[in-house]
Amino acid sequence: MANLFDILPKGFFNYLASNASNRVYADCLEIIYDAYDREVSYRIPRNRIRDALAAYLMDNHIDLSDEEEAGADKYQMASSILRRFTDPNVHWLEEDNDDATYEKQIVMSEHGIALAEFLLSLRRPEKEEYAGYINQIYSILNNPDLMRDDPYINVLRPIYRDAKALARSLKRLATFIRQIIDEMVHEESLESITENLIMYSEGSFIKEYTRLTKQQNIHTYRIQIIERLEGMRGDTQIMQNMTDSHMKEDGIGFTQAQDDIYDMIQNTIRFLSGDYDQIMLDIKHKINLYMQLHIGHLRFLQTRDGSARGHVERAIHVLAEEMTELDMKDEIPDDMDDLFHVGGTSYLDLSSLRYPRKIRRVAQSEEDTIEEMTAQALVRAREEQQREANNPYNQKKMKAYLEHLMAGKSTMQACEFPLAEKDDLLRGLSAVAYAAENGFEVTPEDSYVETDRFVIRNFEVRRQKN
C-alpha cells in the first residue's frame, strides 16, 4: 500500500494546521475552487483569482501581512497567498503561462482539487437519495443492451459501486443519529430540546429514510435484483465475458479477475439480502430510542424544580411510583430503608407539612333531565346495531372463512388466498388479524406476494396443535 506522505508534498497540510490563519487559508482554497464552477477547466487567469481573494480579505477585514510585508494592501496580500499555495512544498495550485496571450494562469493541482472537495463536503454535505441507488441498480439490470455489450463495464461495476454507496450512506445515517442522541442527552434547557426535536422531525435525512421505507417497490426491486445477480453468477457465458473484460480493463490475471467478479456479485447479494435489513433495523431502533429519550427528557424538565427541595420531591415521587408498580406500599424493603433516613427531625419545617384538602360543599342541588328518543332516533339506533351484528369481518365469520379456505390442511401460504378484489384482500387480512383468537398461528416471511392491484407481505398460517 502506498504511503500518503510519499505522494503529497511535505508542507501540504501546513496552512491548515496553523492555529492563527488556518480558517482564512481554508476559505481562500474554497473561494478558488468555487471560481472554477463555470469554467471549462481548472485554469483561470491569475488576476481574477487575486481579485477574488482580495475582495474576501477586504469584506472580512483580514490582515495577514507580516513584518516583511508591512503596509501591504489587500491585493498584495492576495498575491502572497497565491505564492504560498503554488509553493512546491504545498502545491495546492500551479502557475502557468498562456502561450497565446502570455498571461499568467492559475491551475488547481489534482491534490488541491481533492482537498477542496473534502473541505466542502464537511462544510456543506450533499443530500443523498437512498432509494435512488436501488432504482438505479434495478434499471441497469433490466436493460438487455447493457448486458449484451459489456456486462462487466456496463452492469456489474456500476451495480457494485451503487451498492457500496448505499451501504456507506446508510451506515453514515445510523452514525449521525447516534451523534444526535449523544448531543441531546447533554441538553439542559427545555427550549434547546424543543428546537432539537423540531430540527430532527424536519431533517433532510429523515425524509430520505422515510421515502426508502415507504416505497413498496423498493422491497420488490431488491428481491428481483438478488434473483438477477444469482442468475448472472450461474450463467457460465456471462461470467466468462465479465472475467475477460475485467482482465483487459485492469490488466490482471485470469484467477484474480475471476475471484474479483465472484466477490463483487457475492458482496452485493449479501448486502441487499442480509446487511441491508440489519442496518435498517438498527436505524429504526435508534430513531425510536432518540424519540423516547427526547420525550422523557422533556417531561423531566417540565416537572422538575431548580431547588434542592424540587429534586428531593422528584426522587420521592419516582420511588413511590416504583413501589406502586412492584406492590411494595405496605412495607418498605430493607435495602430501601436507608433512602428515607436523609436527616433528623430538626430539618422539618412548616413547608414539610401537608394540609388536608377542604371538601367542597354542594351549593345548590342539580338534576339531570332525561330526554326521550324520538321514533326516528330509535330507528337509526336499531339500524346501527343491525350493521354491527352483520359485520362481515367479525371474529366468528373470519374463523369460518379461514376453515373454508384451508379445507382440512394444516398450513396455508398467503399466495393461496384469493386476492383478486379489494374485498378478498380485506377478508384475508381480517382472518389473519383474528388468527390467534381462532386457534391459528401466523408466521411472516421475507418475501412478498404481488397481484395486479395489491402487494402484501408473504406469511404462513398454521393450525395450533392444541
State yes or no: pLDDT of 348 exceeds 60.
Answer: no
Q: What is the pLDDT of residue 66?
A: 58
Average pLDDT over residues 89-108: 82
Average pLDDT over residues 417-430: 82
Whose cell is 489534482? That residue is 110
Report how far residue 57's alpha carbon sits from residue 52's, in angstroms, rounded to the nearest whole number.
9
Among residues 140, 181, 406, which one has the least CA distance to residue 268? Answer: 140
Between residues 260 and 331, which one has the greater pLDDT?
A: 260
Burial of 294 (0-12, 13-18, 19+ CB in 10 A): buried
Residue 384, SS3 per DSSP: helix
Among residues 445, 420, 450, which one has the least CA distance to residue 432? Answer: 445
Average pLDDT over residues 136-141: 85
pTM for this structure?
0.46
Between residues 343 and 44, which one has the greater pLDDT?
A: 44
Contacts of 232 (CB under 8 A, 6+ apart): 151, 155, 156, 238, 239, 265
Burial of 165 (0-12, 13-18, 19+ CB in 10 A): middle
Between residues 370 and 435, which one has the greater pLDDT?
A: 435
Report how far residue 328's alpha carbon sits from residue 334's, in angstroms, rounded to the nearest whole number.
11
For strand 440-450 and strand 411-413, is the pairing parallel, antiparallel, or unpaired? unpaired
Q: Between the ranges 4-13, 234-243, 306-315, 408-417, where is the mean pLDDT highest?
A: 234-243
> Cβ(427)–Cβ(399) under 8 Å?
no
Average pLDDT over residues 387-402: 79
Give me the percent of the chain exceeding a pLDDT of 70: 70
As beta bridge partners, residue 95 has 106
Helices (H) then strands (E): counts for the chain: 20, 6
Q: Between the ranges 14-28, 177-191, 205-219, where is the mean pLDDT highest?
A: 14-28
Q: What is the DSSP letter of 8?
A: S
Mean pLDDT of the residues in the chain: 77
Q: What is the DSSP letter of 150?
A: -
Q: What is the pLDDT of residue 346?
A: 47
Domain-wise residue ranges, the chain: 4-123, 130-303, 390-463
Looking at the domain 4-123, which fold is it?
Arc Repressor Mutant, subunit A (1.10.10)
Q: What is the pLDDT of residue 64?
A: 72
For strand 93-97 and strand 411-413, is the pairing parallel, antiparallel, or unpaired? unpaired
Q: Between the ranges 195-204, 216-225, 226-235, where is the mean pLDDT highest?
A: 226-235
State yes or no: pLDDT of 24 exceeds 80.
Answer: yes
DSSP assignment string, 436-464: TTTTEEEEEEEEEEE-SS-EEEEEEEEE-
- C-alpha cell of residue 257: 479477475
> Cβ(92)–Cβ(18) under 8 Å?
no
Q: What is the pLDDT of residue 6?
A: 77
Task: Give the count of beta carbons closer than 10 Å to the beta carbon of residue 77.
Answer: 19
Report how far residue 219's alpha carbon sits from residue 230's, in angstroms, rounded to the nearest whole number.
17
Q: What is the DSSP letter of 340?
A: G
Among residues 55, 213, 255, 233, which one has the least CA distance to residue 155? Answer: 233
H/E segment holding residue 83: helix 74-85
Between residues 256 and 135, which one has the greater pLDDT?
A: 256
Looking at the domain 390-463, which fold is it?
Translation Initiation Factor IF3 (3.30.110)
**109-122 pLDDT per residue, tens:** 888 888 888 888 88
Q: What is the pLDDT of residue 364?
A: 62
State yes or no: pLDDT of 371 exceeds 80.
Answer: no
State yes or no: pLDDT of 22 exceeds 80.
Answer: yes
**261-313 pLDDT per residue, tens:** 889 988 888 888 888 888 888 877 777 776 676 667 666 666 655 555 566 66
Average pLDDT over residues 370-384: 78
Average pLDDT over residues 83-110: 84
